[in-house]
Amino acid sequence: MTPLTLTADATGKPARARRTAWVPTLVLIIGSLYCLVPVAWVVIAATKNRSELFSTFTFAPGTGLFDNLSELTAYRDGIYWQWMANSVFYAGFGALLSAAVSAAGGYALGRFAFRGREFIFKVLLAGVLVPSVVLAVPQYLLLSKTGMADSYWSMLLPSILSPYGVYLVRIYAAASVPAELMEAARMDGASEWRIFSRIAVPMMMPGLITVFLFQFVGIWNNFLLPYVMLADDEKFPITLGLYTLLAQGASQPALYTLVITGCLLAILPLIALFLVIQRFWSLDLLSGSIKA
């Protein structure tokens, strides 16, 4: 019996490993195309007028982008921009409140020892596993009892508490806020609020930015909650507004161009948000979670 031998190339890698090294790259390319082709189609379709959109299916740009934007702005006296403003308000204010609550809750769970802490943390972990679709109807029933259904509060209140946000900040606070620094601040006479606001929050900022981003994207893309909560279309977010346009397109095909153009515009705030806040991110978030 002859022993199995592996040949190596000039880099010292076995020939078999070198032959299969392209497989992960190919898988990533296919995955990227799977995600980017629909986005590219939306960008191209938004430039086409009605005849170009329905006559051919090509990736060649059309000539109707500015006409589509004009018609979308004129539709029902610019209600699309009201939907866009509502989404910015729901997502921005809701994500900001959620990040603040997550900061306080995660910091308390990560840096203080008290009775019932582990039980609360386990309940939060269980909340991470509960799909939001399960909570939509109970939340509607609770808010309708208080008279807040079909109001802006019906969109904001369910978004304030994010179990995953509290969990993430708890892990980050335990890894990034040294207990020695907190003790030194207490010896200098600093109050707990001052320690939290002036020391802990700046050190947890990369984690809080991540929580804000996750919540913003989640609220911006949320469809079921506004569908259940809201009846006045002037309070609709962009997701529900575009759905109503799409539903009307079954009887008015001319609205399809407005829907596609609206989808393109709805992507732009998310892209801008990523570009603006990416400089606040740090790899310390990943390293902190590993250390924990």
Q: Which domain holds residue 267?
A: 72-291
Q: 110 lies in a domain?
A: yes
Q: 23 lies in a domain?
A: no
Structural tokens at position 276: 């603006």
Residue 34 backbone class (left: φ over 0; alpha: ψ -120 to 50; beta: rest): alpha
Q: Which amino acid is at 11?
A: T
Overall size of the chain counted in residues: 292
Q: 187 lies in a domain?
A: yes
Tracing tokens 């509607």 back to the chain, one arrives at 140
pLDDT in tens, the chain (292 residues): 445 454 555 555 565 656 677 788 889 899 988 988 888 888 898 888 888 877 777 777 878 889 989 999 999 899 999 999 999 999 999 999 999 999 999 999 988 888 888 898 888 888 888 888 888 888 899 999 988 989 999 999 998 988 889 999 998 888 888 888 898 999 988 898 999 989 899 888 888 998 999 999 999 999 999 999 999 989 999 999 999 988 887 777 778 889 999 999 999 999 888 888 877 665 444 444 434 4
Q: 17 lies in a domain?
A: no
Q: 28 lies in a domain?
A: no
Helical segments of 200-254, H only: 201-203, 205-220, 224-229, 238-248
Q: 15 lies in a domain?
A: no
Q: 27 lies in a domain?
A: no
What predicted TM-score, i.e. pTM, was given to this entire model?
A: 0.83
Q: 56 lies in a domain?
A: no
8-state DSSP, 14: B
Report how many domains make up the chain: 1
CATH number of the domain at 286, please. 1.10.3720.10
Query: How far apart (Å, rounded) are the C-alpha atoms in residues 212 and 214?
Result: 6
Q: Nearest 5°: phi and psi at 10?
A: -65, -25
Question: What pLDDT is recorded for position 17?
Answer: 59
70 contact partners, CB below 8 Å, separation of at least 6:
none
Residue 274 backbone class (left: φ over 0; alpha: ψ -120 to 50; beta: rest): alpha
Question: What pLDDT is recorded for position 124?
Answer: 84
